[in-house]
Structure 1
Amino acid sequence: MEIAAVERPVVLVVTEPDPELPPPPLELIPAGVEVVEVGARPTDEQLAGAQVLYIWDHRFADLGPLLRRAPSVRWVHAASVGVNRLICPELAAVTLTNSRGVFDIPIAEWVLAAVLSHVKGLGDGWALQREHRWLYRSTGRLAGTRAAVVGTGSIGRTIGARLLGLDVDVTLVGRTARPDERFGAVRSSDELVSVAAEVDLLVLAAPLTPATTALVGAEVLGALGPRGFLVNVGRGQTVVESDLIDALRAGTIAGAALDVFEVEPLPVDSPLWSMPNVLVSPHISGDYAGFEVEMMAVFTANLARWLRGEPLHDVVDPTLGYVPG
C-alpha cells in the first residue's frame, strides 16, 4: 500500500508493564517523530492526532474499539510476529505490519536444541547424573531422519533450512500445495495425516488462524506414531491439548517439546509438567538478550519508508492473519 509522505507523524506506543517483555527502547526512534507512550486505554485526546499505532504490549487485544476512536490512524505495527489478537474488521481501512524476521533464527535454534536433546537422550542423561549413575546406553541419530515443518513463513523456512543442514529430509506443509524452489514442494495441510505418517519429527510453526485451530488432534498424532516427536513453537491452539496428553500417556507418540499452550501460563495442574517425555518451555523460544532492539529496528526501518511515502514491508493480510509469501 502506497502512502503519502508524512512531515511529523504522531506515533502512539501502546505498552503496559509486563515482566515477560522488556520496555520499548523508544530512544531508538529517530528525531522528527512525536512519540507518545500510552497504556492499553489511551484517551480520545491522545488518539485524535495519531497516525501510527505501535502495539508493544503482546497481550493487547482491543484494536477494533481503539481504531474506531482513532480516525487519523492509517498504520498499525505489531511488536510480534503473531497478530491473531489484532485481527478485526476495522483493519479494512488501516495497514497492519508485524515484526517478521526478528525471531526466525532464535526459534530455529530452539527447535534444533529440543530435537537434538530428544534424539540424543539428554534428559535421561541429566536424570542419571542427578542420581550419580554411570549407565551405558546408545542414543539416536538425527541425520537421515524425516521432518515435516507446518508453516511456510520465514520462521518455518528457517527451521527447515537448519534441519536440512543437519541432513534431515524436510517437508514443508502450508495452506495449499505448490512447488517450492528450496524444499521441492509444499504439501497442503489437508494432507497432514498422510504427512505425519511419513515423518519422524513434526514441527509446528504456523500462525493461529481458523484453518490452523485444532489442526493437530488424535488422528494426526496417531499417524505420527510411537517413534514420532512433536515440536510446537507456533500457537498452542493449533494442537488439541487433551488429545496430545492422551497420546503422550499412551505412548502413541514418543514425546513433545512445547513452547506454546492452549492456556498460558500453563496451569500448575497440567499433566504436561510432570511427563518425562515432555519439554515445557514458557513461550520463550524466540526471546534472546537484546531482541527488543532488533524488534525496534524493524519498526524504525518501516517508519523511514512511511516518512518517504514508500510502501511498507511485512504487511499482514487480515483475511489470512499473516504476511503472505
Structure 2
Amino acid sequence: MTDSTTPRVLVLSGEPPPGLEPLDGRAELRIVTEDRLAAELPAADALLVWDFATDALPAAWPREGGPRWVHTASAGVDRLMFPALVESDTVLTNARGVFEQPIAEYVAGQVLALAKDFAGTYERQRRRVWEHRVTERVGGTRAVVVGGGPIGRATARTLGALGLRVALVGRTARADDPEVGRVHAFAELDALLPEADWVVSAAPLTDQTRDMFDARAFALMKRGARFLNVGRGPLVVEDDLLAALRARQLAGAALDVFREEPLTDGSPLWDAPGLLVSPHMSADTTTWLDDLAAVFVDNFGRWRAGRPLRNVVDKKLGYVPYAATAEAEGALR
C-alpha cells in the first residue's frame, strides 16, 4: 500500500494491545470485539487478529470489500483457512520469529524433566521423603522432530546442543539443508519412529498432518519412547495417546496443546500415567506480547512503503514455507 490516505486498521481484541504506539498518527486503529467485527470489516484496509483463538472471522468476512492484508498474532493459521479468505486476494501474514526459541527451550526442558524424573523429585520433596534413585542420560539418545519450519528447526538445534541425535521431518526432503544437514520427508516417518527415544510434534495443522499421531503411529514407536506435542492439538488422536500411555507402550508424554482448550476438568488426560500437561504456554515469555506487536509494526511499515512483507502465508499450503522465508529474510535485510 503506497497511497497517502491514513489506512484503517482493525485490531480484533478485547482491549488495546501493548506495543502499537509506533502506529500513532500512521494508522486509524480501531479496536473491535467479535460482536462488531462483521460491521467493521468491509471498510477496513488491514486487520490485526490479536485474539488469535477467535473463531469469529469466517462468519464475519464481508462478501465485498474488506481488508487487503490480515495479520495474525500467532504462528498457526489454521483458524484463518476458511474459503472466503483463502480464495481472496487478501495477503495473510503471521508472527513467525517470536515463538521458535521459546518453544525449543520448552521442549528441551520437558525432555530433561522426563529423563530426570523431576516430577518424582518434586513429589518426594512434598512428602519429605529422601529416596535416592537413578535417572536417564539424554546425550546420545535419538529424537525425531516432526515439522520442518522454524519451530522444528529451533527444536532440532536445541536438542542437538544437549547431545541428542536428531532427525528432522518436513514436507519436502532435502539432502543438504544448509541449516540442519538433512531433512526427511513425511513419507520417511514410519521408518524413523521405531528408532526414536523422543518424538516431538511441531508441525502445522493441515489436511496432511491432522490426526497423524494415532494408534498406528504410537504402535510404531519403540516401547518406552516419549512423545511431546507443541504443534497443534488436532495433530494427535488423544484417545490413542491415552491408550499408549496406559499400556506402557510410551513411557511418558508432554502436551502443551489440545484438541479442545481449555482442558476440561473431567478430561482423562489430567491423570494419564506419565503425562505432563501445560496450558498452551510453551511460547509465552515475559516479553511475548511486545514481541508480537513489534512483528506487526515492522510489517505495517513495509506494507505502507509497498515493500515485501515478512511471513507471508501460502494459503494453499496453510503455512509460511520455510524456503520462501529464508530467501525473503535474506532479501529484506
TM-score band by shorter chain is: over 0.9
- What does residue 267 of structure 1 align with? 264
Summarize the Cα distance change of 1:89–1:45 in structure 2 as closer, same or farther, 3 Å threshold.
closer
**TM-score computed with the length of structure 2 as normaliser:** 0.91
1:280 aligned to which of 277, 281, 296: 277
2:230 pairs with 1:236: no
Q: Deviations over 1:232-284 (max 9, x none)?
A: 01111101111100000000011001001111111222222113411000111
Q: Which residue of 1 aligns with 2:34?
A: 40
Q: What is the Cα deviation at residue 27 of structure 1? A: 2.5
Counterpart residue identity of residue 52, structure 2: H
Give the alignment of 1:92-131 within 5 angstroms. 92-131=88-127
RCO higher in 1 or 2 (8 Å CA, sep ≥ 6)? 1
Q: Distance in 2 between matches of 1:43 and 1:64?
A: 11
CA shift for structure 1 position 197: 0.7
Q: Which amino acid aligns with 2:316?
A: T
Q: How does 1:1-325 map to 2 (within 5 A)?
A: 3-5=1-3, 7-16=5-14, 23-42=17-36, 46-69=40-63, 71-91=65-85, 92-179=88-175, 180-325=177-322
Distance 2:120 2:147 in 1: 31
**Aligned-pair identity (%):** 44
CA contact (8 A) 2:205 2:235 kept: yes
Alignment RMSD (CA, Å): 1.8
Cα distance in 1 for residues equivalent to 2:67 and 2:315:
17
Matched residue SS, 1:85: helix
Stretches of structure 1 that go unaligned for 5 or more consecutive residues are none
Aligned residues: 319
**What is the deviation of 1:30?**
4.1
- 2:44 is matched by which residue type in structure 1? A
Q: Supply the distance in 1 between the matched residues of 2:37 and 2:231 (Cα, whole angstroms).
A: 34
Q: Which amino acid aligns with 1:217?
A: D
**Do the aligned partners of residues 6 and 119 (structure 1) sit closer, same or farther apart at CA in structure 2, a change above 3 Å counting?**
farther
**Counterpart Cα distance in 1 of 2:319 and 2:100:** 15
TM-score (norm 1): 0.93
Residues of 2 paired with 1:287 and 1:70: CA distance?
36
Equivalent position SS for 2:61? helix
Gaps of 5+ in 2: 323-333
Deviation at 1:120, TM superposition (A): 0.9
Deviation at 1:5, TM superposition (A): 4.7
